[in-house]
Structures are given as structure tokens and as C-alpha cells.
Amino acid sequence: MSDAMGPDKRKGMAAPPPVPRKAAPAVPEEPDVPPLTAEQIESMRKELEERRASLLVNIDERREQERDQGREVGDEMDDASLEGTTSMTSKLLERDARLLAEINRALAKMRDGTYGVCEGTGEPIGFARLRLRPWARYSIAYQEELEREERTRGM
């Protein structure tokens, strides 16, 4: 039997110190946010599907641009201009692909019934936030806390 204040008498060893746990970010208080209604979720689903369709068209167009840009032959100035255009097209393509993944994730959350719930706190995400960013994964308060932590790590 071990003594809570001293060494473990069975093994002749001191009890190990407690392992520190990483604390969850302290989230500022937010006014109570009601869960989304069925109508609000349907509105967001339509918005996400429209945005997804638009992104798919953009991605196809950008991929076609990348393929076409490699066919031109010119002087050094043309090559430099082409390189800049290719770089920009690639960056836009990557941005669109990341956003498409976020939209697909939001649509999957709708299917499994977890859309509109903060992934960090489990609390509802406000409808006003979702109207501006329908693929939002976190409430405003939790997102702000994550950003504060990121800034302090970067200093």
C-alpha cells in the first residue's frame, strides 16, 4: 500500500510526479448562441453547394491554363512573364483546392448532423458567422483564442 505523502513502501520508490496536461485554450465568454434551425442549415447547404460548383469550374479552368501555358515559346521576357503567370495560377489553384476541401468537410458535417458546432468547444457557431463563412469550423471566440496562441508562439 502506498502512502500518499511519501515513498511507495511496497517498491521502495517515490511516487512519480504528476504529468502536466496541456490546457485547452481559455475561450472568452460569448453570449448564448442558439443551435441552427433546419431552415438555416438548408440555406447554408445551398450556399455551400453553389460555392462548390463554382470552385470546381475555377479549378478546371486553372488546370487548363496551366496546361496551355507550357506550349508557348518566346524570348527571356516572355519566359519571365510566363513564369509569373504560372506561379500565380498555381497559387490560386492551391487556394481553391483548400477551400473546396473545407466546403466538402462542411457538407459532410451536415450529413452527419454536426454542422454549425464548434470543433474546439462543442458549442454552436453563430448563424451570422456561418453566413459569412459557411465552412467555419470554430466559433468566433475559439478562433480568436487559437489566433492569439499562434501569435504568442511566433514571438
pLDDT in tens, 95-154: 999 999 999 999 999 999 999 999 999 999 999 999 999 999 999 999 999 999 999 998
Greater model confidence, 80 or 43? 43
Distance CA 49, CA 44 (A): 8
pLDDT mean over 66-88: 71
- State the pLDDT at residue 102: 98
Lowest mean pLDDT among 30-34, 38-42, 150-154: 30-34
* Inside any domain, residue 27: no
Distance CA 100, CA 108 (A): 12
Asked whether the beta carbons of 135 and 105 are under 8 A apart, the reply is yes
Domain residues for 64? 38-146
* Inside any domain, residue 33: no
* Inside any domain, residue 141: yes
* Inside any domain, residue 13: no
What's the pTM? 0.71
Q: What is the CATH number of the domain that holds 101?
A: 1.20.120.910
Number of domains in the chain: 1
Got the DSSP string for 85-152?
Answer: HHHHHHHHHHHHHHHHHHHHHHHHHHHHT-TTB-TTT-PBPPHHHHHH-TT--S-HHHHHHHHHHHHH
Give yes or no for residue 15 having a pLDDT over 60.
Answer: no
* Inside any domain, residue 127: yes
- State the pLDDT at residue 155: 74
